[in-house]
Each structure stands twice: as C-alpha cells, then as structure tokens.
Amino acid sequence: MTKHLLLSSLVLVSSIYSSDSIDNILDKSTTYGNIKYYYIQTDKQNTNPFKDSSAKANSIGGQIGIKTASYYGLSAQATFMTTNGFGFGSSVDSSILSRDNGIRTEGSPASSLAQESLTTVGELFLTYTGDSFDVNFGRQVLKSPLLDAKEVRVLPSSVEGSVMHYNAEAYNLDFEAAYLTRFKHRTSDQFINIIEHVLGTHTQSITGSNTGSIAYAKIGWQNTHYALNLYNYYAENFLNSFYANIAYKNSTELFSYSLHAQGIMQRSIGNTDDALSLFSSPTAGKKINAEALSFKAVVSYEESKLMLGYSYVTGDDGVHDSLVLPWDGTPLYTNMITSNNLFVSNYGKGLTADSIYIGGTQSFKIAYTQGYDFTGVKGFQTSVSYMIADNDKFSKGKQQDFNIVLGYKYNKNFSIDLKGIFVKNNTAAAQNGDITQLDDFQQYRVIVNYTF
C-alpha cells in the first residue's frame, strides 16, 4: 500500500509539473521532524483478584518529513514515522511500540508482534491552497476533539481521506469538513478501515458491512474574548456524535483568566442501532446513548497557572451510556496525562471506556503549573495535578489520580520531561458496561525530544 501511494503521488506530480518546475519546487522544499527518546515503566497492584505486574521499555524514534514548495497552489507532503525498542526486560510495555498491531493480529498487547519496532509512512498527502481555503488528499495527522493525533507516546495517530479548511476572516469564522476512510493507531504501521478499527471482528454483525467511513464538519467563531466551536461526526451506519465548546478569556493588570464549557451527545444510528438492541450484542442489548458536560476555569499570573475542572457523563443503565471515543479523542477537561481513555482506541476496543468517560461518572480536577525563569535558571517548569472520579458503579471506591511533571526546555528545539503518575482504583468499563478496578497503578516516563 505504501509503495502504491508513493508511486501514485510521484506520477501525479510528474504529470502536472514540467521537469524545470519540479527542480524548482524541490529546491524550495522544507524538511522537518523530531528525534525522541522514550522510557516508560508501568507497575500495577491488585489484591482481589491478585494481579501484580511491572513492565517497561525504551525506544528511540520520531518523524522526518518533507514539504514541497507550492506551484499554482499545489504542494505535497510526506512524513516517515518510526519507533525502535531496545533494552527490554522480562516484561515489555508495548505502549511505545507496536501494541495495536499485536492486539489486531495476535489478540494481545503482550504478544511478540506488539513488542516489535515499526516504521511507516504516517503522512502522504497533496494540498491545494486557495485564497481562503485549502484541501488535503491522502494520509495525514488531524487534531479535533473526538478524532485526534493523541501524541502521548512516540508517534501520533493518522487518518486517510480528504480534509477541507475555509477561513471567512471578515466574519471571524472558520469551517472544516472531512471525509475519512482509514485510521492508523499511534502504535501501528497499518491503516485500517476507520469503522473496523472501532469494532474489530464485530464490524459486519453490528454495522452490516465490513467497511465504513466518517464525515465530519466543524464551524468555529471567535473574537477578542469569545470562542465557539461546533462539530458533528457522522460515522457511517454506526454513530453520530455532536460536540460543542465555548470559551471566554480576559485579563486584568495583574493576571489573565479564561472560562470554558463543553458538551457531547452521541447516538448509535442505522444498522448499529438495531444490532446493539439485541441481547446477544457486545453491549448486551444496549444502544449507544451517551451525553457529557464539562467545565474549566484557568487563571494565569506571570509564570504560574491554576486550572480547575469538572465533568459529568450522564448515567442510564438501560443504554450504553459511556462515551465512545475510539479515534484517540480525550476531550473532557478532567482528562489527566495518564490519558484516562488511552487504550479504548486500540483495535476492536471502541465500545469500552475508562474512568471519567464511563456513564454516571462525575470528576473533579485541579492542576498547578509553575515556571522558574524568575530565578535566573531558565527553562524549568513543574506541573502537579490531582483528579478524583466518582460513580455509584465503582465497587472499590473513587478513582484518584496524582500526576507530577518536571520539564526542562533548553530552547524551542530541545526538551526533557520526567513524569510520575500514581492512580488509586484505576477503573475501566467493558463493552457490556461491567466495571473493573485496579487497586494501584504507577507509571514513570522519561521523554527527550529534539525537533528540527
């Protein structure tokens, strides 16, 4: 597939441009990328049932890409992505390697395939740019609330399809529309049908087809103080998701502040709505009917920033009430760097949910970030955050997350982050809504990144 995409792009470019034009475009092309070292260690403890484990991994990887100059508005871009593990112990944390490949092919994040290194063409697309718009065709990295790149490991996730942006600057409006057919998880080198990625082996029985697509549209408006964004994601014969957020920001002579609110509404549609209503379905007869609200306030003073967040996912035992976020979206303001929804974007896991995204859960978060340039030692920053999630379904009690990050940024290109993550009663919901909780969970990360 990769070879075909590369060859097709070269043939297309060659047919459009003369040889002199191609030479000129290549001369004015730009390269970009990053080199990243990533260490991760994950420790879990559980008394009933007894389950203690520790896994770790090292990886060196990153991205390198090229973007051609524009010729009559047309340009091309390609990004190669790689993650290469080393220094493994007896138990390997595959979340910085090929975890999704292992789950898709061998059914396990601990399989030999999940522990392999990977290299892939994560982006390969053509762009046409007009006066107020641009259109991309091909493989690309996207960022949106419910379908995101999720750059919390070595590599981002990617999609395949077409995306259009239009900016009506005179009215402070911007529009985005997309038609997407394939998805590549951040721990995979394979682009899989975007609906199959969610449902895995259940795709045919639930949607009535082995394939499907997503179309989404966004409208955004902003001025000096306000911003509003509305999204609608239509997943063919599977799911319709509506997302909205509004923000207000202002400042005084002493500090700046902002207030934010967001809402999400999801419903199963078409064949999926009928299929999930059957008792034998993966959701045990429950259609998707999920809603959530979230709020946050942020106050900043010089190098200090305080954030307070709240979220609530409505609960209803008669439906599948957890948010469905299989494409690396983690939108709620109470989300932690533990990425409470991290692995529901693995192949076939799209109807599962974690902690703050489970139906009936309300969550509170407080985070404080402090820079230290005022001391004369520049580049250091610490961030401390605490989250508590509560739900009547949590048999072991509330989930509590404590995260601490020490970061150092030498310049705009080079950074080091040390992260410690500590979770009590780490919680997950299965497809049928059953809740499991882990007594204790700790994770340690070292991330060194150089961009160019």
Q: How far is CA 22 from each of CA 27, 65, 71, 75, 76, rounded to the nearest angstrom?
A: 8, 18, 9, 11, 12
Chain centre to alpha carbon of residue 174: 22
- At residue 349, the pLDDT reads 97
- Pick the range with the lowest mean pLDDT from 54-63, 115-124, 254-263, 333-342: 333-342
Share of the chain above pLDDT 90, in %: 90
Rg (CA), the chain: 22
Partners of residue 119 on adjacent β-strands = 82
Report the distance separating Cα 353 and Cα 430, nearest Å.
7
Instruction: Tell me the per-residue pLDDT of 297-324, one tens digit each, with 9 for 90 and over.
Output: 999 999 999 999 999 999 999 999 999 9
For residue 6, is pLDDT > 50?
no
- At residue 151, the pLDDT reads 87
Closest CA to 333 of 267, 391, 227, 258: 258
By CB neighbour count within 10 A (0-12 exposed, 13-18 middle, 19+ buried), where does 48 fall? Answer: exposed
The rounded mean pLDDT for the chain is 94
CATH of 2-377, one of 3.40.50.800, 2.40.160.10, 3.50.50.60, 1.10.40.50: 2.40.160.10
Reported in sequence order, the residue ranges of 87-145 that DSSP labels E, i.e. its strands, are 118-129, 133-140
- At residue 3, the pLDDT reads 46
The domain locations on the chain are 2-377
Instruction: Tell me the per-residue pLDDT of 22-47, one tens digit each, with 9 for 90 and over.
Output: 666 767 899 999 999 999 999 999 99
